[in-house]
Amino acid sequence: MFSSSVNPPEGRRDVDEHPADSPRAQEEAAGMSGFLDGKVVAITGAGGGIGRAVALAAAAEGARVVVADIGVGLAGEDPKSEVAEALVAEIEAGGGEAVAVGESVTTLAGGERIVAAGVERWGSIDGVVAIAGILRERMLFNMSEDEWDAVVETHLKGHFTVFRAASAVMRKQAGGGSLVAFTSGAFAGSVAQANYAAAKGGIVSLVRSAAAGLHRYGVTANAVAPVARTRMSANVPMDLAEMGDPEDVAPLVVYLLSDRARHVTGQVYTAVGPKIAVWNQPREVRAVYADGRWTPEAIAERLDSTVGQERMPLLDQLEAYRKAAEEKAAAAGSA
Protein backbone atom coordinates (compact mmCIF):
# COMPACT_ATOMS: atom_id res chain seq x y z
CA MET A 1 0.00 0.00 0.00
CA PHE A 2 1.18 3.50 -0.71
CA SER A 3 1.30 5.96 2.16
CA SER A 4 0.24 9.57 1.88
CA SER A 5 0.82 12.66 3.97
CA VAL A 6 -0.55 16.20 3.95
CA ASN A 7 2.86 17.83 4.13
CA PRO A 8 5.55 15.43 2.85
CA PRO A 9 9.15 16.19 3.81
CA GLU A 10 11.14 18.32 1.40
CA GLY A 11 12.38 16.24 -1.55
CA ARG A 12 9.75 13.56 -1.02
CA ARG A 13 6.65 12.97 -3.13
CA ASP A 14 4.07 10.53 -1.75
CA VAL A 15 1.52 9.00 -4.09
CA ASP A 16 -2.08 8.33 -3.16
CA GLU A 17 -3.39 4.89 -4.04
CA HIS A 18 -6.21 4.48 -6.54
CA PRO A 19 -9.72 4.97 -5.13
CA ALA A 20 -11.06 1.70 -3.82
CA ASP A 21 -13.88 1.63 -6.37
CA SER A 22 -11.71 2.34 -9.42
CA PRO A 23 -11.29 -0.39 -12.07
CA ARG A 24 -7.54 -0.41 -11.45
CA ALA A 25 -7.98 -0.96 -7.73
CA GLN A 26 -10.54 -3.70 -8.33
CA GLU A 27 -8.15 -5.50 -10.67
CA GLU A 28 -5.32 -5.24 -8.16
CA ALA A 29 -7.54 -6.47 -5.31
CA ALA A 30 -8.49 -9.47 -7.41
CA GLY A 31 -4.85 -10.20 -8.21
CA MET A 32 -5.43 -9.59 -11.92
CA SER A 33 -3.02 -6.70 -12.57
CA GLY A 34 -1.02 -8.79 -15.10
CA PHE A 35 1.47 -5.99 -15.63
CA LEU A 36 3.53 -8.06 -18.05
CA ASP A 37 0.98 -10.34 -19.71
CA GLY A 38 2.41 -11.82 -22.91
CA LYS A 39 5.75 -10.00 -22.69
CA VAL A 40 9.04 -11.82 -23.18
CA VAL A 41 11.69 -10.74 -20.70
CA ALA A 42 15.32 -11.86 -20.45
CA ILE A 43 17.01 -11.52 -17.06
CA THR A 44 20.73 -12.02 -16.53
CA GLY A 45 21.98 -13.10 -13.13
CA ALA A 46 18.53 -14.54 -12.52
CA GLY A 47 19.62 -17.58 -10.55
CA GLY A 48 19.77 -15.91 -7.15
CA GLY A 49 19.34 -12.75 -5.10
CA ILE A 50 17.68 -9.82 -6.83
CA GLY A 51 17.72 -11.57 -10.21
CA ARG A 52 15.74 -14.47 -8.85
CA ALA A 53 13.23 -12.14 -7.17
CA VAL A 54 12.78 -10.19 -10.41
CA ALA A 55 12.33 -13.36 -12.47
CA LEU A 56 9.68 -14.72 -10.11
CA ALA A 57 7.86 -11.37 -9.95
CA ALA A 58 7.91 -10.99 -13.75
CA ALA A 59 6.56 -14.50 -14.23
CA ALA A 60 3.84 -13.86 -11.64
CA GLU A 61 2.79 -10.81 -13.67
CA GLY A 62 2.42 -12.87 -16.85
CA ALA A 63 5.84 -12.55 -18.47
CA ARG A 64 7.59 -15.33 -20.31
CA VAL A 65 11.04 -15.35 -18.78
CA VAL A 66 14.48 -16.14 -20.16
CA VAL A 67 16.46 -17.13 -17.07
CA ALA A 68 20.10 -16.41 -17.88
CA ASP A 69 22.66 -17.45 -15.28
CA ILE A 70 25.84 -19.50 -15.32
CA GLY A 71 25.81 -19.89 -11.55
CA VAL A 72 29.29 -18.55 -10.80
CA GLY A 73 30.63 -17.77 -7.37
CA LEU A 74 30.91 -14.23 -6.05
CA ALA A 75 34.26 -13.71 -7.77
CA GLY A 76 33.09 -15.29 -11.03
CA GLU A 77 34.44 -18.77 -10.44
CA ASP A 78 32.97 -22.29 -10.87
CA PRO A 79 30.28 -21.77 -13.55
CA LYS A 80 27.32 -24.15 -13.67
CA SER A 81 23.79 -23.94 -15.11
CA GLU A 82 21.83 -25.76 -12.41
CA VAL A 83 20.59 -22.57 -10.74
CA ALA A 84 18.92 -21.35 -13.94
CA GLU A 85 17.33 -24.71 -14.62
CA ALA A 86 16.02 -24.94 -11.05
CA LEU A 87 14.38 -21.52 -11.30
CA VAL A 88 12.75 -22.43 -14.62
CA ALA A 89 11.31 -25.55 -12.99
CA GLU A 90 9.96 -23.43 -10.13
CA ILE A 91 8.33 -20.93 -12.51
CA GLU A 92 6.79 -23.71 -14.59
CA ALA A 93 5.51 -25.44 -11.47
CA GLY A 94 3.65 -22.24 -10.66
CA GLY A 95 2.01 -22.18 -14.07
CA GLY A 96 4.44 -19.78 -15.75
CA GLU A 97 6.63 -20.06 -18.82
CA ALA A 98 10.41 -19.87 -18.74
CA VAL A 99 13.55 -21.12 -20.45
CA ALA A 100 17.07 -21.46 -19.04
CA VAL A 101 20.16 -20.15 -20.82
CA GLY A 102 23.64 -20.91 -19.50
CA GLU A 103 25.53 -18.22 -21.42
CA SER A 104 28.10 -15.70 -20.22
CA VAL A 105 27.25 -12.02 -20.69
CA THR A 106 30.91 -11.18 -21.27
CA THR A 107 30.82 -11.87 -25.02
CA LEU A 108 28.64 -10.52 -27.82
CA ALA A 109 27.85 -14.08 -28.83
CA GLY A 110 26.63 -14.84 -25.31
CA GLY A 111 24.42 -11.75 -25.22
CA GLU A 112 22.97 -12.62 -28.62
CA ARG A 113 22.17 -16.18 -27.55
CA ILE A 114 20.40 -14.95 -24.40
CA VAL A 115 18.16 -12.64 -26.43
CA ALA A 116 17.72 -15.20 -29.20
CA ALA A 117 16.41 -17.74 -26.69
CA GLY A 118 13.36 -15.54 -26.11
CA VAL A 119 12.86 -14.62 -29.77
CA GLU A 120 13.13 -18.22 -30.95
CA ARG A 121 10.84 -19.59 -28.24
CA TRP A 122 8.15 -16.89 -28.17
CA GLY A 123 8.72 -14.64 -31.18
CA SER A 124 9.87 -11.39 -29.53
CA ILE A 125 11.97 -9.77 -26.83
CA ASP A 126 10.09 -7.07 -24.93
CA GLY A 127 12.39 -6.47 -22.00
CA VAL A 128 15.93 -7.12 -20.82
CA VAL A 129 17.07 -6.83 -17.21
CA ALA A 130 20.84 -6.94 -16.68
CA ILE A 131 21.72 -7.98 -13.14
CA ALA A 132 24.66 -10.39 -13.54
CA GLY A 133 27.70 -9.26 -11.60
CA ILE A 134 30.77 -10.26 -9.61
CA LEU A 135 33.08 -8.62 -7.07
CA ARG A 136 36.86 -8.42 -6.82
CA GLU A 137 37.54 -6.06 -3.92
CA ARG A 138 40.90 -4.39 -3.59
CA MET A 139 42.29 -0.94 -2.85
CA LEU A 140 43.16 0.87 -6.07
CA PHE A 141 46.92 0.75 -5.45
CA ASN A 142 46.77 -3.04 -4.95
CA MET A 143 44.34 -3.96 -7.74
CA SER A 144 45.56 -6.29 -10.45
CA GLU A 145 44.72 -6.01 -14.12
CA ASP A 146 42.69 -9.21 -13.95
CA GLU A 147 40.67 -7.92 -10.98
CA TRP A 148 39.88 -4.75 -12.91
CA ASP A 149 39.08 -6.46 -16.21
CA ALA A 150 36.89 -9.22 -14.79
CA VAL A 151 34.57 -6.83 -12.94
CA VAL A 152 34.29 -4.27 -15.75
CA GLU A 153 33.76 -7.06 -18.28
CA THR A 154 30.97 -8.70 -16.31
CA HIS A 155 29.12 -5.55 -15.22
CA LEU A 156 29.63 -2.94 -17.94
CA LYS A 157 30.30 -5.12 -20.97
CA GLY A 158 27.70 -7.56 -19.67
CA HIS A 159 25.11 -4.80 -20.00
CA PHE A 160 26.34 -3.82 -23.45
CA THR A 161 26.16 -7.35 -24.90
CA VAL A 162 22.52 -7.98 -24.00
CA PHE A 163 21.40 -4.39 -24.61
CA ARG A 164 22.97 -4.41 -28.06
CA ALA A 165 21.35 -7.70 -29.02
CA ALA A 166 17.95 -6.75 -27.60
CA SER A 167 17.84 -3.22 -29.03
CA ALA A 168 18.54 -4.54 -32.52
CA VAL A 169 15.32 -6.56 -32.25
CA MET A 170 13.27 -4.02 -30.31
CA ARG A 171 13.81 -1.17 -32.77
CA LYS A 172 12.15 -3.22 -35.52
CA GLN A 173 9.24 -4.72 -33.60
CA ALA A 174 5.91 -3.12 -32.80
CA GLY A 175 5.83 -1.76 -29.26
CA GLY A 176 9.58 -1.23 -28.90
CA GLY A 177 10.84 -2.56 -25.61
CA SER A 178 12.43 -1.86 -22.24
CA LEU A 179 16.05 -2.06 -21.13
CA VAL A 180 16.57 -2.16 -17.36
CA ALA A 181 20.10 -1.84 -16.03
CA PHE A 182 21.39 -2.46 -12.54
CA THR A 183 23.83 0.06 -11.16
CA SER A 184 24.67 0.93 -7.55
CA GLY A 185 25.12 3.94 -5.34
CA ALA A 186 28.79 2.98 -5.66
CA PHE A 187 28.83 4.80 -9.01
CA ALA A 188 29.24 7.94 -6.88
CA GLY A 189 32.47 6.50 -5.47
CA SER A 190 33.78 3.59 -3.42
CA VAL A 191 36.71 3.09 -1.09
CA ALA A 192 37.85 -0.42 -1.97
CA GLN A 193 35.87 -1.19 -5.12
CA ALA A 194 37.26 1.14 -7.80
CA ASN A 195 36.61 -1.50 -10.49
CA TYR A 196 32.99 -2.03 -9.40
CA ALA A 197 32.30 1.70 -8.99
CA ALA A 198 33.78 2.50 -12.41
CA ALA A 199 31.69 -0.20 -14.05
CA LYS A 200 28.52 0.98 -12.32
CA GLY A 201 29.22 4.57 -13.38
CA GLY A 202 29.70 3.37 -16.94
CA ILE A 203 26.35 1.59 -16.75
CA VAL A 204 24.60 4.86 -15.84
CA SER A 205 26.16 6.57 -18.87
CA LEU A 206 25.24 3.59 -21.06
CA VAL A 207 21.62 3.85 -19.92
CA ARG A 208 21.45 7.57 -20.65
CA SER A 209 23.00 7.01 -24.07
CA ALA A 210 20.59 4.17 -24.83
CA ALA A 211 17.64 6.29 -23.72
CA ALA A 212 18.69 9.10 -26.05
CA GLY A 213 19.55 6.90 -29.01
CA LEU A 214 16.60 4.52 -28.84
CA HIS A 215 13.82 6.94 -27.88
CA ARG A 216 12.71 7.37 -31.51
CA TYR A 217 12.22 3.59 -31.76
CA GLY A 218 9.98 3.32 -28.71
CA VAL A 219 12.67 1.68 -26.58
CA THR A 220 13.16 2.89 -23.01
CA ALA A 221 16.28 2.52 -20.89
CA ASN A 222 16.45 2.98 -17.12
CA ALA A 223 18.65 1.90 -14.23
CA VAL A 224 17.94 0.63 -10.75
CA ALA A 225 20.37 1.16 -7.88
CA PRO A 226 19.19 -1.38 -5.31
CA VAL A 227 20.11 -1.80 -1.68
CA ALA A 228 19.17 -5.32 -0.63
CA ARG A 229 20.45 -8.28 1.33
CA THR A 230 22.37 -10.39 -1.17
CA ARG A 231 25.72 -12.16 -1.21
CA MET A 232 27.19 -9.07 -2.95
CA SER A 233 25.87 -6.54 -0.43
CA ALA A 234 27.26 -8.69 2.37
CA ASN A 235 30.71 -7.74 1.07
CA VAL A 236 30.20 -3.97 0.99
CA PRO A 237 33.18 -2.55 2.95
CA MET A 238 31.06 -0.20 5.12
CA ASP A 239 27.76 -0.12 6.95
CA LEU A 240 24.69 0.69 4.87
CA ALA A 241 22.29 3.21 6.39
CA GLU A 242 19.33 1.56 4.67
CA MET A 243 18.74 -2.08 3.79
CA GLY A 244 15.94 -4.02 2.13
CA ASP A 245 15.32 -7.39 0.55
CA PRO A 246 15.47 -8.52 -3.10
CA GLU A 247 11.67 -8.74 -3.10
CA ASP A 248 11.53 -4.99 -2.37
CA VAL A 249 13.34 -4.25 -5.63
CA ALA A 250 11.37 -6.52 -7.97
CA PRO A 251 8.13 -4.45 -8.17
CA LEU A 252 10.00 -1.41 -9.51
CA VAL A 253 11.61 -3.54 -12.22
CA VAL A 254 8.26 -5.03 -13.20
CA TYR A 255 6.83 -1.53 -13.48
CA LEU A 256 9.72 -0.32 -15.67
CA LEU A 257 9.18 -3.30 -17.98
CA SER A 258 5.47 -2.62 -18.31
CA ASP A 259 3.43 -0.51 -20.73
CA ARG A 260 2.54 1.75 -17.79
CA ALA A 261 6.17 3.00 -17.86
CA ARG A 262 6.42 3.78 -21.58
CA HIS A 263 6.97 7.45 -20.73
CA VAL A 264 9.84 6.75 -18.32
CA THR A 265 13.35 6.70 -19.78
CA GLY A 266 16.89 7.79 -18.94
CA GLN A 267 16.26 7.55 -15.19
CA VAL A 268 18.20 6.09 -12.26
CA TYR A 269 16.07 4.94 -9.33
CA THR A 270 17.10 3.74 -5.90
CA ALA A 271 15.00 0.92 -4.48
CA VAL A 272 15.48 0.00 -0.82
CA GLY A 273 12.81 -1.35 1.50
CA PRO A 274 9.72 0.89 1.24
CA LYS A 275 11.64 3.71 -0.46
CA ILE A 276 11.96 4.59 -4.15
CA ALA A 277 14.12 7.60 -5.00
CA VAL A 278 15.23 9.19 -8.26
CA TRP A 279 18.78 10.44 -8.90
CA ASN A 280 19.48 13.80 -10.45
CA GLN A 281 20.57 14.31 -14.05
CA PRO A 282 24.16 15.60 -14.31
CA ARG A 283 24.48 19.21 -15.40
CA GLU A 284 26.72 22.20 -14.82
CA VAL A 285 26.03 23.88 -11.49
CA ARG A 286 27.80 27.24 -11.83
CA ALA A 287 30.44 28.84 -14.05
CA VAL A 288 32.98 31.65 -14.11
CA TYR A 289 34.55 33.26 -17.17
CA ALA A 290 37.92 34.82 -17.82
CA ASP A 291 38.74 37.77 -20.04
CA GLY A 292 40.56 35.73 -22.64
CA ARG A 293 42.45 32.51 -21.83
CA TRP A 294 42.79 31.27 -18.27
CA THR A 295 46.19 30.97 -16.58
CA PRO A 296 46.95 28.62 -13.68
CA GLU A 297 47.52 31.65 -11.42
CA ALA A 298 44.17 33.19 -12.32
CA ILE A 299 42.42 29.88 -11.65
CA ALA A 300 44.16 29.58 -8.26
CA GLU A 301 43.03 33.07 -7.34
CA ARG A 302 39.41 32.80 -8.46
CA LEU A 303 38.26 29.17 -8.45
CA ASP A 304 37.51 28.76 -4.73
CA SER A 305 35.56 32.02 -4.48
CA THR A 306 33.53 31.48 -7.65
CA VAL A 307 32.68 27.99 -8.90
CA GLY A 308 34.27 26.25 -5.91
CA GLN A 309 33.64 22.52 -5.48
CA GLU A 310 30.74 20.15 -5.14
CA ARG A 311 31.58 18.30 -1.96
CA MET A 312 31.60 14.50 -2.17
CA PRO A 313 29.05 13.20 0.36
CA LEU A 314 31.12 10.01 0.61
CA LEU A 315 34.01 11.94 2.16
CA ASP A 316 31.75 13.26 4.91
CA GLN A 317 30.34 9.77 5.44
CA LEU A 318 33.84 8.32 5.78
CA GLU A 319 34.78 11.03 8.26
CA ALA A 320 31.69 10.23 10.32
CA TYR A 321 32.64 6.54 10.30
CA ARG A 322 36.17 7.39 11.42
CA LYS A 323 34.96 9.51 14.33
CA ALA A 324 32.44 6.87 15.39
CA ALA A 325 35.18 4.22 15.36
CA GLU A 326 37.46 6.42 17.48
CA GLU A 327 34.67 7.10 19.99
CA LYS A 328 33.87 3.39 20.19
CA ALA A 329 37.53 2.53 20.76
CA ALA A 330 37.87 5.23 23.43
CA ALA A 331 34.77 3.98 25.23
CA ALA A 332 36.07 0.41 25.14
CA GLY A 333 39.44 1.53 26.48
CA SER A 334 37.90 3.34 29.42
CA ALA A 335 35.56 0.47 30.33
Distance CA 110, CA 50 (A): 21
Q: 82, 79, 17, 41: which is closest to 250 by C-alpha?
A: 41
On the 0-12 / 13-18 / 19+ scale of CB atoms within 10 A, 115 is buried
State how far the alpha carbon of 50 is from the alpha carbons of 35, 149, 164, 299, in Å: 19, 24, 23, 47
3-state secondary structure the chain: CCCCCCCCCCCCCCCCCCCCCCHHHHHHHCCCCCCCCCCEEEEECCCCHHHHHHHHHHHHCCCEEEEECCCCCCCCCCCCCHHHHHHHHHHHHCCCEEEEECCCCCCHHHHHHHHHHHHHHHCCCCEEEECCCCCCCECHHHCCHHHHHHHHHHHHHHHHHHHHHHHHHHCCCCCCEEEEEECCHHHHCCCCEHHHHHHHHHHHHHHHHHHHHHHHHCEEEEEEEECECCCCHHHCCCCCCCCECHHHHHHHHHHHHCHHHCCCCCCEEEEECCEEEECCCCCCCCCCCCCCCCCHHHHHHHCCCCCCCCCCHHHHHHHHHHHHHHHHHHHHHHC
- Residues shown for the chain: 335
Q: Is 289 designated active site?
A: no
One of 124, 167, 178, 184 is an active-site residue; which one? 184
Q: Is 321 designated active site?
A: no
Q: Is 258 designated active site?
A: no
Distance CA 284, CA 228 (A): 32
One of 200, 255, 258, 269 is an active-site residue; which one? 200
Active site residues: 184, 196, 200
